[in-house]
Amino acid sequence: MLAYVGSESNMKNKVAIIGSGPAGYSAALYTSRADLKTTIFAGQEPGGQLMKTTEIENFPGTPKGTTGPQLMMAMQDQATRFGGELVFESVENIVKNGVIFTIKTESNTYNFDAVILAMGASPRMLGIGEEKYWGKGLSTCAVCDAAFYRDKITYVVGGGDSAIEDAVALSKFAKEVTLIVRGEVLRASKPMQKRLLDSKVVVRYQASIKDILGESKIEKLVLDVGGVEKTVFTDGLFLAIGHVPATKFLADSGVELDELGYVKTGGEYPTMTAVPGIFAGGDCVDHRYRQAAVAAGSGVMTALDCEKWLENK
């Protein structure tokens, strides 16, 4: 079944936005207000990672704080207020046919004049069932959540730059910070390792987490340290072992990815990919910041570039 939504002389340009996090909803707000017919492919679980975040205090315009679900529902309402249409399906592939982009989902096929990629990236997990502790002591962003762990005991998993950045950020608030490193040495850059040495963070090498214990929240960790098992108390566990961008479906699109699978941009417009008419923003292009406010701003940039590209076309 083909749902044709391509341009006609007496119709608006049609824009597809793939992703329903801060970047996707911000892009949709701008494209729909610019009188572009906007379809948001939100997937089966709209809202992105913030739907699993209990408290948010660092998003502009929320002086009393908010929760992830509240923020995302508000952004969804605003994105659809000016005509943005939600489709609760996941995109399987994108193919360019002449000047039209054909998007295939599980049950339908659509045509558009331009596409904005805003799928985000998912944090790598340990694979020991830790997901049930989201917002209950488990986090993947110390920069976001460090202030909630003032005078508490925390553990960070990872050996790269991000792990050290998280551990050092936590050390400004937490009573104790322990960095769990699987190998015998850190993978982080020399400057970051120096920052670690100058902090109060304790490093455990040749260590891994075997199990997480706790009823309503994380209470204990079962560690394997050099082959010796030990149980420790903790208030929080931070994972900093990398992210996986949701870009596998782009295999036949012509969009270029870097060695980690993130979308490469910087064509004719700053947010344009290697394929004219496909733009990208948010965590699917962001190796570094991975903040909701940054993703929202990035989404706005994609929308402005997309609008200008369609005008010039």
Which residue out of 35, 77, 113, 144 is catalytically annotated? 144
Same domain, 102 and 142: no
> Is 72 in contact with 86 (CB distance < 8 Å)?
no
> Could you tell me what percent of the chain has a pLDDT over 90?
75
Q: Write down the mean pLDDT value for the chain.
A: 91
Residue among 141, 166, 284, 286 flagged as catalytic: 141
Do 182 and 159 meet the contact criterion of CB atoms below 8 Å apart?
yes
Which two tokens mark 42?
């939100």
pLDDT classification of 46: cutoffs 50, 70, 90: confident
Among candidate residues 35, 113, 145, 306, the one labeled active-site is: 145
Q: Which of 204, 239, 274 is the last residue of a domain?
A: 239
How many independent structural domains does the chain possess?
2
- CATH code of residue 267: 3.50.50.60
Average pLDDT on 44-63 reads 81
Contact 38, 17 (CB under 8 A): yes
Q: Are 220 and 249 members of one domain?
A: no
Do 222 and 262 share a structural domain? no
38 plus 51 within the same structural domain: yes
Say yes or no: 59 and 109 in one domain.
Answer: yes
Q: How confident is the model at residue 274 (pLDDT cuts 50, 70, 90)?
A: very high
Count of CB atoms situated within 10 Å of the CB of 278: 28
Residue 255 has pLDDT above 60, yes or no: yes
The predicted pLDDT at position 122 comes to 84
Backbone angles phi, psi at 175, to 5 degrees: -70, -40
pTM over 0.85: no
Contact (CB, 8 A) for 180 and 157: yes
Domain boundary among 239, 258, 282: 239
83 and 226 within one domain: no
Does one domain contain both 115 and 208? no
Active site residue 305: no
The residues near 227 (Cβ < 8 Å, ≥ 6 apart) are: none
Active site residue 77: no
The whole-angstrom separation of Cα 265 and Cα 259 is 14
The mean per-residue pLDDT over the stretch 187-192 comes to 89
Tokens 């989404």 belong to 299
- Examine the domain organization and report whether 156 and 194 are in the same domain: yes
Residues 146 and 176 in one domain: yes
- Residue 8 pLDDT: 41
182 pLDDT more than 50: yes
pLDDT one-digit tens code per residue, 111-152: 999 999 999 888 889 999 998 998 899 998 887 888 999 999
User: 88 and 192: one domain?
Assistant: no
Which domain range does residue 194 map to? 130-239
143, 226: one domain: yes
- The pLDDT of 9-32, averaged and rounded, is 88
In this structure, the answer to whether residues 110 and 164 fall within a common structural domain is no
284 is catalytic: no
Among 239, 254, 278, the domain boundary falls at 239
CA–CA dist 265, 275 (Å, integer): 9
Q: How far apart are CA 62 and CA 67, in angstroms?
A: 10
Residue-wise pLDDT tens digits, 22-38: 999 999 999 999 999 99
pLDDT at position 216: 93
